[in-house]
Structure 1
Amino acid sequence: MDERKIRSELAKILADEPKNYTKILELSSKLASFDQDNVRFSVDAGVIDRLGTELVARQETAVSELVKNSYDADAKKVVLKFEDSESIGGTLFIEDDGLGMTKDQLINGFMRISSTDKLRHPLSERYNRKRAGQKGIGRFAVQRLGKKLTIITQTLNGDHTLVLTIDWSHYKGDVDLGNITNKITTIPKRKDEGTTLKIEGLKDRWSQAAIKRIYRYVSAIIQPFPLSEEKVIEEKNGQVEILDPGFKTIFKKIEGDKAIVIADESKMIYNHALAEIDGWIDDNGLGIYSIVSKKLDIDKYGEIGSDPDDMTIPFTHLKKVRFKAYYFVYNSGLIPQMHETSIKKAARTSGGIRLYRNGFRVLPYGEPGNDWLKLDQSVTRRSILPVHGNNNFFGFVELTDEEGEFNETSSREGLMENEALIQLQNFVYRTLMQSVFITAEARNIKIVSGQQKDGKLYEKIELRIKDIAHTLESLDLELEKEEGNIQVKNRRKKRLKKLKKDIKEVAKLQKEETSKMLKEKSMLRVLSSVGITIGQFIHEVRDYVINMESDVKFLLEKLRSDTVLTERLLILDRNITTFKSYTSYFDNVISQNVIRELKPIEIQNRVEYFWKSIHNDALKSNIKFEIPERNGSYLYTIPMHPSEWSSILFNFYTNSKKAIKRTEKAGEIKIECGLDNNNIFLEFSDTGDGISEENEEKIFDEFFTTTSPNSLNEIDSSNEITGTGLGLKIVKDIVSSYRGSIQVVSPKEGFSTCIRIDIPKATDKELEDYGI
């Protein structure tokens, strides 16, 4: 069509159909193409599909982004309902009670790619929440999940409910993005405010295990349940402040006419607790706690001061601190048997007290193996007899830290060890212990040997040393006031001076011992990871040596047969080449271990080096192993030890080899690396025989293995790598020590297993310090 015809048709449309905006826009775009002096950017509609695939590769990430959007919309609750989701093609409903969207917000927010709204408004409108969702990812998350989206939304001040339908199949290549229309209509209001997303034609199947997995994923990011109740506070200057009531997520599965709750905090854990414990700091800095137990008929309040010997002394560095904990006592008939096993299992991975600062999780507090409140340490001392380890509690601390009392360390390994953190540990630990005592008394359980309680057991050693020093200072001042023999007074002063000096030495030694212990623990972890790697290497070398010996023997016997000789020489050459790449790789691992210095690791480079050393072996084992896929650039982790990544990757690889071998088919392994928020991620996928739902979390436990033989004879007769049950446990310990996470996630299309690692990315300062 030439320019004249387009002008004529546009004029006719404007005259006859002035509201046919789609046609007007299409003709205008065509007309603009005849502008010879100016050029314009155009956007292909296929970009929606490509961005959805690249930005939101995993179904868990996609759902979590939509939950975060509800959080950002100041919702108090969001309910996710999965319908017909056991197979591909189901429907997902996401319904929240947030602020909803106006027509302008729908058009210029949701429907505008690269909207700057979250940049311009980093805090939410009603509760001043720090926004959790990634900027502009929500719409791509929806496209990643299903084929069709219907948005039903209403605001408090709006008169109608808005309904917007988007069919993602229209967003195909070779079509201009601006020429695709989506119908928006109005219907009578269904409720005061809130948004419902209906996502049809789900691209993944959602089993109960996958739904529970996304619940845990979301709960680890956003504070799982409210501690404050919604209150309106009238300020002196006339400003009205509404306190955040918290945020709850409920996951349901529709089966027939029934809606089954798969995951929420009450169903998952809390309804079966022996006691519910709340603690908070009042306006005067005094700690207040409450303990409620319906099973034991307990409903008590009490006070906790910063000095265990004087409950009236306030905490000087604690403000706007609240915490909630649920206390469980196992093997005592206090939990229904049908729930006790699952709660114990959950306690191994989610037990303890987590820490949230300004609404967001602070790692590693509350992670498995992290004993920041010294609960497990207290149990081993046997000073307090009722059970009170981390696995006996589920809970979290909520810090509203507007004044910056609690700051992350430069390595982002938790918070700085300052007086505020010490007081927080003091308050939470002693409150938990007070609650343990109250429940033990109600159960007529012995608390300590001889039934003697000593409040001085409740503090960290550093605090007790400080208290002793302060007491000595006071005693010194009192002695100064006394009248009497000046020689006696001098002797006392000398003794006090020496005692204070000794106490300082004890404190110094204690810190040195702690530092030494941490270094030794780190060293042992590195050595154990290298040891596991070498163990796997020895097995592989044995196979190659046997093959080479066989080839040499054959050559000696068949030296005169030139054709056969040439053929076998080529095989021998390939074996030796692969063997050399193996030896080179492990020689490098050992060399790295000589130097203990940590440094930021560019994960893609590290993975590609591993791939170069291993892909020949994969080929020999009939496994397709393409070069690892990069999603993003400059993928530097926080400072780590290079040999630890060697151990991680080799563990994953040998496990995948075994899993593929058990299928008795050709297999495939895939590695993906990328950036997700402030984390560097690595996903290791294979087409092996998969991991059963009940084993998804067990595989990271020590000594859990599916490949251990039953006898020495089986070891000798088997050519399979023997499982010790320590490999993935060590991998998890490595990852956790760097504030990272490791989990089994939903496999990508065509694969049966996917394990994902998230490690914090290096800060600009860390990169600068290491000259990167």
Structure 2
Amino acid sequence: MPRAKGKENPKDTFRISSALKTIIGRELITDDFVAVFELVKNAFDAHARNVEIRFEGLTTENPKLIIKDDGKGMTGSDIDSKWLFVAYSAKREGIEDDVTGKPKDYRDKINTERTFAGAKGVGRFSCDRLGRYLNLYTRTRASGPYEHLEIDWQDFEEDSETEFVEVKIKRNSPIKIPHELKSGTILEISGLREKWDREQLKKLRDSLRKLINPNQENDAKRFAVTLSAPDEGSADKEESESRDRVNGRIKNFLFEELGVRTTEIHCEVDEDGEKITTTLTDRGTLIYRLVERCPFYHLQNIRVHLFALNRSAKIHFLKVMGVRNVSYGSVFLYKNGFRVHPLGEEGDDGFGIERRKQQGQSRYLGTRDLSGRVEIFGGNNRFKETSSRNSGFIESPEWRELLQFFKEYVLRRLEIYAVDVIKWGNPVKGSDEELLPSDVKAQILEVINKLTNDPDVLDVQYDPHLLDILEERQSASVTTALSNFKRIAEKTGNQKLRREVARTERRVKALATAKEEAETEARQARKEKALSEKQLADERQKNVFLLATTADPELQRLHLEHWIGIAAPELRENVRKLIAVVKSGKADQDQLLKGLTAIQKWVDQLVGASRIATRADFSLQYPTRRMDLARYIFEYLTSDVVEKTDRLKIDVNMNANPFEVMMRPIEATILFDNLISNAEKARARHMRFAIETSGKNLTIDVANDGEKVPKSMLSSMFELGISGRGGSGIGLYTCKEIVTGMGGEISFVGNDPMMGGAQFRIVFYR
């Protein structure tokens, strides 16, 4: 509604009570250390190189806190237009003067060395938090005039009915001041509100060590803070460790300088927010370095340095720092070189580390296991601290993305290595030796394989020594890694990576060929030893073509194709029956569900077989594993996967101790799938497995109640291409090959006297 013309009503504007001072002073900044930090940050923003925090007369009735900087200082005009302008920030507005006192033009803005640490316009009220009285002295150059403000903050508290702007402060331009000052600003605070004893001063010193990140850009390395308390000089002399002294220059904390050899991850989002670079090292050894596309819309110019602390690292931390790492803090956050509180403090869980740890104590790292920092550079103006200055960042899309980035790209990747691969980096049980990267090369390659399988990966670096693993259980990891590396090199045109892959492929191929030849000779020797002279003669007369078609790795492909051949007809038959029922027009819901359930069961088995085949190295793409073979067989036979039809009942009797061997899970799976399939073809309705250990051997007896095996089949049932029921003749041959390859024997015991059908015995030796 338009305002009527005429005299303005004074109630059309806000009035500001003098009580505002307390709200944005003591009530907003509730921590003494944070109040000191805010004043130090203001000095940094004023282009100071040095700041002295000095406590005088602590044992007298009138102690003082003096904060002195050698920055650019303020003119009378600056005081009027900036310092006395509540909540105004020239830094936020982008019109802050430079070191010379001249307004910035576009060249100055491009070449500036520092990004401002504060931009709220309320940091100056930290003085109220620290003490009742403030004397401010400032000048812009050695020959310039002094400016002086004298404030009693209690003047603002006399009557809340008084307007804020009506409270008078004393101001003058003295010829001399009680402190030496060439240029810069001095804040002399008296009537201190808290007692600053030695213990409190040491806590302030420790907090100041974490205030500035010396590793960050923004000119922080040339910014020095000194703590001075003359009354504590004598006590300092009695301290043997410099860290326990109050007086002296503040040495900023940097974890890397502690000399702790541990696992660390560095993750960086570039200035354009387009790429993420992740580098993982373990006790000085490069594990991997990845460059990948950045999926985050709001993140750019961010770095994270995170360290996993094992037991020895925690002990070393205590020795060097004089305090346990958990009490010192965990993951600190820095914006433009200065800490954002309270992130990283003991008891703070701003990054959700402890909440996550509670979901799995042995799987996840907690704050007591971590030390590190998150660094935010440049503008990133959407990351805004709360006005209280002790509550972190204001909730925003940027902050939510940063938390996601930290969890998924930094913390989780560090956990995968430190917890799953290196087992926390602690000494191996029963030994004083820690696991080293050289001890877990295969596991490291598996981690790299999973990461580099992502199409967003643009580049990869790794320790070439990781590929020096050519034992049978490890060579598949090398093959997969090289395949991923080659794809990345071709996609990105990385010639160096391409040459490294080609060189390693040649070496791996030569060594793998030599290994395969040796293994073939060993297998043949075992086979010949197991055969009688007559069988040996017959074996040597076999068709050369058959021997060729069963050579590795072709034999493995044949095994898998045969298993698929078992599943496909069952699927086809179930689909045919379901179609017939639907066409008849008499299908009810139960029939449809039953048919679909049968189909689903076989589809699930095919998917499961594909998954097992991948993990079981059918294409030499995955290492064998050390597993309890007896337990694996029992769990597989008692799972839903093997219940192929409703008419076949399977009983499994387990009476075996742990029997650990190197094995490919798919081989055991196919072995028993074939035996079950043969029983079904023999029209068996009941099948029994007995698993037991005897001495060092594992024995599995298999029997069914199906059709008896004819005598004509007894001498040739395990030969390739021989089938008594019109089948392919691959099933039992596959069983024999698998068992022999696993260092065992399979034999036909006879037709079971109780069940009537075939009985086989499988023995694995160790």
Q: For the superposition of Structure 1 and Structure 2, which TM-score range results when normalised by the shorter chain?
A: 0.3 to 0.5
TM score, norm. by length of structure 1: 0.40
TM score, norm. by length of structure 2: 0.40
Which protein is bigger by CA-based radius of gyration?
2
